[in-house]
Amino acid sequence: MKAFTYERAASPAEAAAAATRRPGAKFVAGGTNLLDLMKLEIETPVHLIDVNGLGLDKIEPTAEGGLRIGALVRNTDLAADERVRRDYGVLSRALMAGASGQLRNMATTGGNLLQRTRCPYFYDTNQPCNKRVPGSGCGAIDGFNRQHAILGVSEACIATHPSDMAVALRVLDATVETIRADGERRTIPIADFHRLPGDTPHIETVLRPGELITAVTLPPPVGGTQLYHKVRDRSSYAFALVSVAAIVQSDGSGRVALGGVAHKPWRVEAAEAELPHGAAAVAKKLLEGAKPTQENAFKLKLVERTLAAVLAEAKGARL
């Protein structure tokens, strides 16, 4: 691990200011992704700004009837919150499908959104990777890419975003609140938060340098049956090959988003109009323009089948 200096920030604005003052500085929250990558010298911050203890660990009702989740709320606490379990079940389910009990006790809402890909070539510093070293090439495109993306891919990168939570936030139409060094705050719809790889796969979100996530806001509850199905190589403690977050209403209408298939949670609103026509129709629209590799073409069928399982369960819940 490269050496770094360390400070505890005193307020969100000061944290953002400190990060802007020191090029090469990074925030640390739970540390579960950043420290892992620092040990491998994939991340090499020269200064760490600890954003724990800024009072960003509360879940509060909003005036609109939604919930405002502080960026430092731990994944365990968010999944266990009574309001989340009752009104945003898909979020609770997605969180509980991720990582382990120990990790969820550390992992934060903001850090989870910003966790980096699990592409094995990204993790192996002996391999080319445009995300890790821009311009070095992509080891995965002609390599072992069974886990990789089938949608929104580019010539430069076919990595997936590994977060389960983000898929649920996408189907819930969450927004991300931030603060910058000059104190300016902005609100970013989750749909616009993560970027597709294009020819700059190392730039993963629309955040500017030094911009701190302060909260994630959920709109008022939309009801319905809320489900999260995650298909993986073992039944617990593994990243998704494909996941489906769904909210299905009693009339059969609803929303769906996919995880494990793209550089960001994948949602196509036009596909949702097909929900009353069944999984195959929805999958067809969701997967339009898909570019699988030979090794991960199975994900096309897996998306359809996982969707079918989710819709069947939703139907069962309504009976």
Ligand X SMILES: Cc1cc2nc3c(=O)[nH]c(=O)nc-3n(C[C@H](O)[C@H](O)[C@H](O)COP(=O)(O)OP(=O)(O)OC[C@H]3O[C@@H](n4cnc5c(N)ncnc54)[C@H](O)[C@@H]3O)c2cc1C
Helix (H) or strand (E) holding 68: strand 67-70
Nearest to 275, CA basis, from 317, 307, 243, 227: 307
Q: What are phi and psi of 246, to 5 degrees?
A: -140, 145
The least CB distance from residue 77 to other proteins, in Å, is: 9
Who contacts 234 (Cβ-Cβ below 8 Å, separation ≥6)?
Answer: none
Note the residues at the interface with ligand SF4 (CB under 6 A): 117, 119, 121-122, 129-131, 138-140, 157-159, 201
Q: Which two tokens stand for residue 271?
A: 């596909």
The helix, strand and coil proportions of the chain, stated in percent and rounded to the nearest 5, come to 30, 20, 50
By the rule CB under 6 A, 243 interacts with ligand X: no
Residue 117 touches which of other proteins, ligand X, ligand SF4, none (Cβ within 5-8 Å per kind): ligand SF4
| 155-194 binders of ligand X (CB under 6 A) | 162-165
Query: Among other proteins, ligand X, ligand SF4, none, what does residue 18 contact (CB within 5–8 Å per kind)?
Result: none
With CB under 5 to 8 Å by kind, the binding choice for 46 among ligand X, other proteins, ligand SF4, none is: other proteins
Residue showing the smallest CB distance to ligand X in the complex: 111
User: Does 32 help bind ligand X (rule: CB under 6 A)?
Assistant: yes
Shortest spacing between CB 239 and other proteins, in angstroms: 11
- Asked if 34 interacts with ligand X (CB under 6 A), we say yes
Binding site for other proteins (CB under 8 A): 1-6, 8, 24, 28, 30-32, 35-36, 39, 41-42, 44-46, 48, 50, 52, 76, 79-80, 85-86, 89, 92-93, 96-97, 99-103, 105-106, 125-129, 132-133, 136, 236-237
Q: How far is CA 55 from CA 28, 121, 154, 216, 240, in A?
A: 15, 37, 40, 14, 32
HEC sequence for 163-211: CCHHHHHHHCCCEEEEECCCCCEEEEEHHHHECCCCCCCCCCECCCCCC
Amino acid residing at 256? V
| Site membership for ligand X, residue 115 (CB under 6 A) | yes
151 in Cβ contact with 287 (< 8 Å):
yes
Residue 119 binds: one of ligand X, ligand SF4, other proteins, none (C-beta under 5 to 8 A by kind): ligand SF4
What does 3 bind: ligand SF4, other proteins, ligand X, none (CB cut-off 5 to 8 Å by kind)? Answer: other proteins
Task: Give the containing element (helix H, strand E) for 148.
Answer: none
SS3 state of residue 222:
coil
List contacts with ligand X (CB under 6 A): 26-34, 36, 51, 71, 98-99, 103, 106-108, 110-112, 114-115, 162-165, 212-213, 239
